[in-house]
Amino acid sequence: MTKQMVTAVILAGGQGQRMGGKDKGWVEFRDKPMISHVLQQVKPQVSGIIINANRSFERYQSLGYPVIEDSASGFHGPLMGMLTGLRHASSDWILFVPCDTPLLPTDLADRLYQAVRKNNADLAVAHDGERLQPVIALLHKSLLPSLEAWLEEGKRKIDRWFMQHKMVVVPFDDGESVFMNLNTPEELKEVEAGYCVV
């Protein structure tokens, strides 16, 4: 895989309800905002980065990447963020990751891309050994019309939409923690207490 084939879209458009309504991208983890950790992990893997956000626009723009709002106003879930990303990315493949997963693998894009190539698939989704991680996925840009139709019908279930297409599930044996998304202040404290740099 060459980096030019993939654009990353960081999904930062959620309400952060379980984090007390805070914008999770700007919640501190190990003395840096979580969005900074995600950017650090993803940037070497892709040709470009887009941030999908529904608030804190100026703060996200200060990071130096394009910031795009969901195509429909309000908070409509990750599929709306994916739709927005598919509409704006120029590459054939788009890597989607959430803004609250600071420990992402450094070979995430390559492993997902190799899986879609090997299986002639439309999309690849990460699996942590215990569960599917549907918002950590590589999608082909040709899926845009299908996703538009799905959302226009009022459907929001991400896994059900995935199942409409040729999907490959990619196991990551790095351990569940690499995909840990930090949803609550308690989870954040727990992970920070046990986190060490290897």
Residues forming the annotated binding site for Mg(2+)? 100
Cα separation, 78 vs 41, in Å, equals 20
Cα separation, 121 vs 168, in Å, equals 6
For residue 139, count CB atoms less than 10 angstroms from its CB and return exposed for 0-12, middle for 13-18, buried for 19 or more: buried
Q: Residue 129: in which H helix or E strand, if any? A: none
The residue type of 147 is L
Summarize the annotated binding site as residue ranges.
11-13, 24, 52, 70, 100
3-state secondary structure 140-182: EHHHHHHHHHHHHCCCCCHHHHHCCCCEEEEECCCCHHHHCCC
Length of the chain: 198
Instruction: Look at residues 155, 165, 157, 119 and name the one whose alpha carbon lies nearest to residue 135.
Output: 157
Summarize the annotated binding site for GTP as residue ranges.
11-13, 24, 52, 70, 100
The answer to whether 75 and 23 are in contact (CB under 8 A) is no
